[in-house]
Structures are given as C-alpha cells and as structure tokens.
Amino acid sequence: MNSRLAPDVYLGVATVSDVDGGPGEPLVVMRRMPEDRRLSTLVHAGVPLSGEISRLARVLAAFHAAAERGPHVDAEGAVAALSARWEASFAQVDEVGAEVVPAEARAEISRRTRDFLAGRAELFASRLARGRIVDGHGDLLADDIFLLDDGPRVLDCLEFDDHLRRLDGLDDLAFLAMDLERLGRPDLGTLLLDRYAEYSGDPAPASLRAHYIAYRAFVRVKVACLRHAQGDPSAAAEALAYTDIVLRHLRRGAVRLVLVGGLPGSGKTTIAGRIADELGAVLVSSDRVRKELAGLDPRQHVPAPYRSGIYSPEHTERTYTEMLHRAGELLSRGEPVVLDASWSAAAERDLAGKLAERTRSTLVPLRCTAPAAVTDGRLRTRSASLSDADPVIAHAMAADEEPWPQASDVDTSGTPDAALTEALRIAETV
C-alpha cells in the first residue's frame, strides 16, 4: 500500500532470525529518509516551503486520480458513513474526555457538525457522483512526509483498516492541512488545499474544506483524550489545542443564509456585496432577480408608482420566491448565500427562516439603517444602482415596513468599512 506513494522507499520484506535458527520475523525493508528533509522539521525550521507544498499537492492529486474507486469505496464517503464516524468520536470523547474538553465546546461541536451533515445531502451526493471518493492514504501527517530534491516521499498510510482509508480526496488532504495548522503554518495548509483544488479540478465549497479539517482535528481530540485517560497529563493541553482548531473551522465553515435588508438608500446593496466577498458567499439581489423575471435587462430603469408595475405585490412575491429557491439550491450544496432585498414584510422573512431550518443553515438577519437625511441624499445622487426607488417610494415603504425584532441593525451612516466590520462581527458570532 505504501509503495503507491513511495515505491523506492518500501523495498520489500525480509526475514530476520536469531543465531539459534529460531523462527524468522518478517520485517519491511525500507530506505532510510534524511531527518532534515522531514516536512515537520522543515516547518519548525522556518524554511520557505511554498514551492514544495505545491509540488506535494500535485503528487497527491495525481495519486488520487489513479486511486482505486468503486461502490465498495464510495460507501465510506457517503454522508451516512461520515456521520457514523463523527458520532462514534462524539461518544468516545464524552466518555473519556468529559474532564478535559468543556461541555459547552462539545455541545457546540456536535450541534454544528450535525447541522452541516443533515443539510448537505446534495453536496455529498455530488461528491459521490463525481468520483471524489478514493482509496487514499488516510493518515497524512507532516512527520511522515519527506521533501527530497527529486520530489516528495509520503510514508505510512493507514493500511490496517481499508474502510478508514477510503474517503473523499479532500478529506485526505484536510488531514495534512490540519497538521500544518497545528504546527503553526495554517497558510501552508491553505496553499496545499488551493493547489490540490487546482490540480484535481475539485470545485468543493470552502465549507466542505472546513468541515473535513474540523473532522480531522476532532479525531486528534479523541486520541489525546484517550491518552489522558490512560495517565498522560500532558495530553489535556493537546486535546484543548485541537478543540480550538475544530471550533474555528466549524464556525468558519458554517453555511450561512444572510438576509441584508433595509429601506432604499440604506446602503444595503453595497454592504451585501462586501459581505458576500468576505464570506465567499453567493450574492442574490432582489433588484436583479425582479427584472430578470420580467424579461428586462437588470440595468434598465423602469420606475413606477409604489406597489405597481414590476413592483406590484404579485411580482414582488414571485421575486422573493425565486430568490429563496436559488438560495435553497446553493445552501444544500454547501454554499453560503447573501440575499439583498428590503425584507420589509414579515411573511417574506418567515419564508427565509423556514428555508434556513430546512437546510440546517445559520440564519443571519441584518437590517441596514441610516438617518433619513443620509438616505434621501443617497437616493437623489446615485447613478449606478439597479434599484428604481426614489425618496417618495422610500417614504412609502417606511410607512408600510413591518417590525423586524430578530434582525441586528447595522449603521451605514459612517464609512462602508465600519459598516462591513460590524456586519461581519454579527455574522461570525451567530
């Protein structure tokens, strides 16, 4: 199994016996690797490694491209199998690590994990359909990788259990990305995954990357807790360090449905676009969808009296229905979504809330606000907006706006950077 990635290191099997001619002991014959070229050693030494990491990502992408596939392999990459592995680890950590890992952290980890798995059936089905489940390495650690002048040598695969070695290729790489983060070089882990995505043509969303890194870190939490229970007091700090990695990535990888609402001129469209950029989310705008449904160029201005034309209640309902339909498809594939609309009606917000519940996504309702003098000034001077609203329509909408107590207000009267910082603070703490 190990000769797949290091054929000139694993040389064969020899039999060693004692001088009395007793029964022989079979031993693997290996070429000794230079200690100073061990990846973990190079990381600790601060050696520049971007080129070497890119080379390693290419080797692993080629390895996965040629790896064994089939129904027996796919079964281990299905969401049910992944969920079972998580649940087994939860049970073990609860049993042996209750004194080490705080109950609050364990509860958050299990909640976020179960939400992700339950709401992403389409994402995991697509991984199977695209042949992303492979008989891989299963135990990629920086201690077992040597970066030689003629290319990397990757040793010590998980050979004792075929089931644990059959996994999503991204899951395989996530182990090493997690290990590099543990060594203080998360940037190298990110580079590894970026280059692997490029070389393997893998379109996986960032949320799946984060999930697999969290999974690999939680396995190390479990191992550390077991060591602690067996009498190793130093393992407690290690378990907590890995727990921090788990939580960081589960929070970062949360699939969010962000509603960015507010009256015309409140700055919601500007903030929505910047939030989407920062979160790596897909932006869906009511101004654009509304005109697409009417067969219009989104840049075409078609002003109309309040609640008439393409702004009639019927067309508005169609617009929100289509926005939520698109959002649902994206969320189920693990893509976070930002919905830019006024969200002035409680019924529309209720539908968004139900969508978040159905897809087990994190709902983040934001309402952009600014003084009337500021919003009126923006409406009178803007030129590049897709919206057709003017101050008269804005005042009419304000009179009809229904209370939104669940939303967090974002003051946009200052700089866009200040508003973005506040919006991201809210989004990332939900």
CATH number at residue 197: 3.90.1200.10
User: Are residues 150 and 104 both part of a single domain?
Assistant: yes
CATH number at residue 386: 3.40.50.300
pLDDT in tens, 109-166: 999 999 999 999 999 999 999 999 999 999 999 999 999 999 999 999 999 999 999 9
Residue 15 counted as domain residue: no
Flag residues of the chain having pLDDT under 70.
Answer: 21, 383-384, 388
User: Are residues 200 and 265 both part of a single domain?
Assistant: no
The pLDDT score that the predictor gives to residue 101 is 97
User: Are residues 247 and 267 both part of a single domain?
Assistant: no
Residue 13 counted as domain residue: no
User: Are residues 328 and 187 both part of a single domain?
Assistant: no
Ramachandran angles phi, psi of 28, nearest 5°: -75, 130
The pLDDT score that the predictor gives to residue 108 is 97
User: Are residues 229 and 260 both part of a single domain?
Assistant: no
How many domains is the chain built from? 2
User: Are residues 182 and 321 both part of a single domain?
Assistant: no
Range of the domain at 137: 34-252
The pLDDT score that the predictor gives to residue 155 is 97
Which of the listed residues 228, 252, 276 is the one where a domain comes to its end?
Answer: 252
Helix axes 103-119, 79-96, angle to 10 degrees: 170
pTM of the model: 0.90
Residue 25 counted as domain residue: no
The pLDDT score that the predictor gives to residue 388 is 66
> CA torsion, points 178, 118, 336, 136, in degrees to nearest 10?
40
Looking from the CA of 9 toward its CB, the CA atoms found within 13 Å total 20
The pLDDT score that the predictor gives to residue 373 is 87
Instruction: Map tokens 């364990």 to a residue.
Output: 106
The pLDDT score that the predictor gives to residue 380 is 81
Task: Find the DSSP H helices in 97-205.
Answer: 103-119, 121-129, 162-165, 169-182, 186-200
Query: Contact 41/35 with Cβ under 8 angstroms?
Result: yes
Residue 363 counted as domain residue: yes
The pLDDT score that the predictor gives to residue 293 is 94
Looking from the CA of 193 toward its CB, the CA atoms found within 13 Å total 26
Q: Rounded distance, CA 118 to CA 110, Å? A: 12
Residues 6 or more apart from 59 whose CB is under 8 A from it? Answer: 5, 151, 152, 154
Residue 422 counted as domain residue: yes
Residue 47 counted as domain residue: yes
Q: Rounded distance, CA 31 to CA 10, Å? A: 7
Q: Rounded distance, CA 56 to CA 408, Å? A: 45
User: Are residues 190 and 318 both part of a single domain?
Assistant: no
The token pair that represents 37 in the structure block:
């070229």
User: Are residues 112 and 44 both part of a single domain?
Assistant: yes
User: Are residues 125 and 77 both part of a single domain?
Assistant: yes
User: Are residues 219 and 139 both part of a single domain?
Assistant: yes
The pLDDT score that the predictor gives to residue 298 is 82
Query: Contact 266/368 with Cβ under 8 angstroms?
Result: yes
Which of the listed residues 189, 221, 252 is the one where a domain comes to its end?
Answer: 252
Residue 7 counted as domain residue: no
Residue 2 counted as domain residue: no
User: Are residues 342 and 236 both part of a single domain?
Assistant: no
User: Are residues 190 and 237 both part of a single domain?
Assistant: yes
Residues 6 or more apart from 80 whose CB is under 8 A from it? Answer: none
Which of the listed residues 252, 283, 310 is the one where a domain comes to its end?
Answer: 252
pLDDT in tens, 273-318: 999 999 999 999 999 999 999 998 888 888 888 888 888 999 999 9
